[in-house]
Amino acid sequence: MTERFKFSIAATDGKARTGSIQMQRGTIATPAFMPVGTAATVKAMKPESVRALGADIILGNTYHLMLRPGAERVAKLGGLHKFMNWDRPILTDSGGYQVMSLSDLRKLTEEGVEFRSHIDGSKHMLTPERSMEIQRLLGSDIVMAFDECPRADRPREEIAASMELSMRWAKRSRDGFDSGGEHAARSALFGIQQGALDEELRKISAEKLTDIGFDGYAVGGLAVGEGQEAMFGVLDYAPGHLPEDKPRYLMGVGKPDDLVGAVERGIDMFDCVLPTRSGRNGQAFTWNGAINLRNARFAEDTGPLDERCECPTCSTYSLAYLHHLQKSGEILGAMLVTEHNLAFYQSLMKAMRGAIAGGTFSAFAADFRRDYLKDRK
């Protein structure tokens, strides 16, 4: 039988690493980008199409799935993989971030977070133990520890107290996960480093997580409005505080140039709603930068969306047609641009893996930024 969880580094180039994560439901090539399937669907995409574009793993959302259709119902229906027709690994977040950002009338205590649903106002309690139970009911392959994510502009003493609380919750998450029987025997648990923009707090958090022991480690609390420069400032040191032989996951990131800069700094895994959300709103990511397909200059452009892309959208449809779909509000427009954006993200990850393996990552990153960050002519 395939190992429960095995991370291997095949090559490094500076701080950048490429390798793989082996799990029972499949191997994940790293650096990896995980499309976000918030409510058991990667929006505007069939699961088989997401896989065909190169995704080895997707992300599911504990908060949304616990509220609708409910974790117990998903379990009754055979688990999240069967429910949504995705037979490869799924990482589920813990629900903590959404509870803090989406819910009204939330009450934070040592025990957990009491909150009201943004859907119907019903009252719920989410604790580390309940988060582990929900992710077990969903059948998650990579489970995230339950944490709190404070805003980076809060006073340092608040951020420190929040980090310490998250570390106590991390231990409870570990204990809750380990009590999961068969699920714990085939799945993995990741801890989440907190500390906002403070290097000392990040270091303390990493030490506490390492003492508990996890299969992988996430850098949490970034991409929450601090800006790319501040985020990169944290990533200059934060991954180095985490175990070198475990995967490092930057949560909720990001734009294509964010991904390149984070891989340069030693990150192995990413997730973000940007390629799918942008696809529904007419923004496409290309090797020459992001473009707005609603722009009138595309109305009679018979060329492809991205000449360097071989995805079905680029090889079949013209910019003029995609512009028309966006202006008309047609559902097909959201589907086609989402397909392209996900293909572009996977192509970018594949190109980075190849450049790291070939020892040419610095040159690749420089060339990428030259083309991506210039205005498209």
Between CA 197 and CA 238 the distance in angstroms is: 10
Q: Which helix (H) or strand (E) holds 219?
A: strand 216-219
141 is catalytic: no
Which residue type is seen at 6? K
245 is catalytic: no
Q: Which helix (H) or strand (E) holds 67?
A: helix 62-67
Six token digits for residue 9: 């580094």
Q: Is the peptide bond before 254 cis (omega within 30 degrees of 0)?
A: yes
Number of H helices, E strands in the chain: 16, 16
What 3-state DSSP class applies to 4?
coil
Six token digits for residue 125: 């309690």
Per-residue DSSP letter, 253: B
Q: Which of 93, 141, 147, 306 is catalytic?
A: 93
| Three-state SS annotation for 79-103 | CHHHHHCCCCCEEECCCHHHHHHHC
Q: Which of 215, 258, 268, 271 is catalytic?
A: 271
Which residue type is seen at 270? F
Annotated catalytic sites, by residue? 93, 271
